[in-house]
Structures are given as structure tokens and as C-alpha cells.
């Protein structure tokens, strides 16, 4: 499986069609969703990298991946899509996102919850991760993207 296998961060839950500036599904900015097919590989890689960095930031605060190989093997065995050249913390997110209701022993997948989250049910943790990932994406948009759009809109 290569980065080409998953051609877009889209997960089919687009909220930009409802006016969100950041998609609640994939966490891309509205203009990235709209223009994705027109982006060259470098632009797509930049978006993928930003999403990866934000997701890793969230995940490393919640879980520890102690066995990358086991995690990868479990994803393959369960046919859970992931991007092999991304961080194992992105893989961990894919596992939790797809298997939160059925996983009982996270250790069998090569990872553990950090102590402050060990009492959490995985569906609850998955939802918290998703909210935090969205909030970070939204904050990134407000800090770095929105000011540029305002300057363009007002001809500055």
C-alpha cells in the first residue's frame, strides 16, 4: 500500500458543503477540498503533511505506540486503510477510528493509552481525538489562512 492508494484525505463526511471553513471529516480547509483535484503532487503533500503533524500532536498526548510492526500488521490483517509513510500515530488513529467499538485490548495492537486516558472507553476517546484534531485544524486556519484571504478580499 502506498500513498497513492489513498488519493485524498476525504473520509466521505464533508461539512464544507454546509459552509464550514474546515471540514469536520478530513480536517482540510474548504479551498483544499474544492481545489484538491487541481493540486499538483507537491501541494497535496503539503496538505497531507499538515494533517499528519496535527494528528500526531493529538495522538501522542493520548496513546503510546510501542510496537510499530504489530500495529501495521494488525491494520493489514483487518484491512484498515492507512498511509504507510505516515507516522505510526496516524495509523493508531485509523485503528481507533475504525475499531473503537470492538477493540478490547489495545496492547494486542502495539499501543497503550497514556495513564490519564486508561479509564476512557475507546469510542469516547475516538470522539475526543476527532474534536481536538478539528479544533487544531480550525485554529491553524484562523491563524495562518484566514488573514491572507481577508487581505485578498480587501485588495491589500
Residue 93 lies in a domain: yes
What's the total number of domains in the chain?
Answer: 1
The answer to whether residue 134 is domain-embedded is yes
For residue 17, being part of any structural domain is answered with: no
Is residue 21 situated within a structural domain?
Answer: no
Torsion sign across C-alpha atoms 116, 72, 46, 44 = negative
Domain that includes residue 124, residue range? 51-153
| Residues 113/120, Cβ–Cβ less than 8 Å | yes
57-77: pLDDT as tens digits: 999 999 999 999 999 999 999
| Single pTM value for the model | 0.88
What confidence tens digit (pLDDT) does each residue in 1-32 have? Answer: 333 456 888 887 887 777 778 988 899 999 89
- 26, part of any domain: no
Judge whether 145 lies within some domain.
yes
Q: Please, which pLDDT band fits residue 153 given cuts at 50, 70 and 90?
A: low
Q: How far apart are CA 43 and CA 32, in angstroms?
A: 10
Amino acid at each position: 500500500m502506498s500513498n497513492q492508494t489513498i488519493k485524498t484525505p476525504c473520509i466521505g463526511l464533508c461539512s464544507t458543503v454546509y459552509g464550514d471553513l474546515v471540514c469536520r471529516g478530513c480536517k482540510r480547509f474548504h479551498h483544499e477540498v474544492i481545489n484538491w483535484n487541481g493540486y499538483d503532487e507537491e501541494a497535496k503533500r503539503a496538505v497531507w503533511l499538515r494533517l499528519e503533524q496535527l494528528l500526531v500532536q493529538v495522538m501522542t498526548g493520548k496513546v503510546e505506540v510501542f510496537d510499530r510492526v504489530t500495529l501495521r500488521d494488525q491494520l493489514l490483517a483487518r484491512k484498515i486503510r492507512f498511509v504507510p509513510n505516515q507516522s505510526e500515530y496516524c495509523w493508531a488513529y485509523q485503528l481507533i477510528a475504525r475499531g473503537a467499538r470492538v477493540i478490547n485490548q489495545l496492547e494486542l495492537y502495539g499501543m497503550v493509552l497514556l495513564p490519564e486516558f486508561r479509564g476512557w472507553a475507546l469510542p469516547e476517546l475516538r470522539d475526543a481525538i476527532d474534536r481536538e484534531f478539528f479544533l487544531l485544524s480550525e485554529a491553524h486556519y484562523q491563524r495562518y489562512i484566514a488573514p491572507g484571504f481577508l487581505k485578498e478580499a480587501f485588495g491589500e
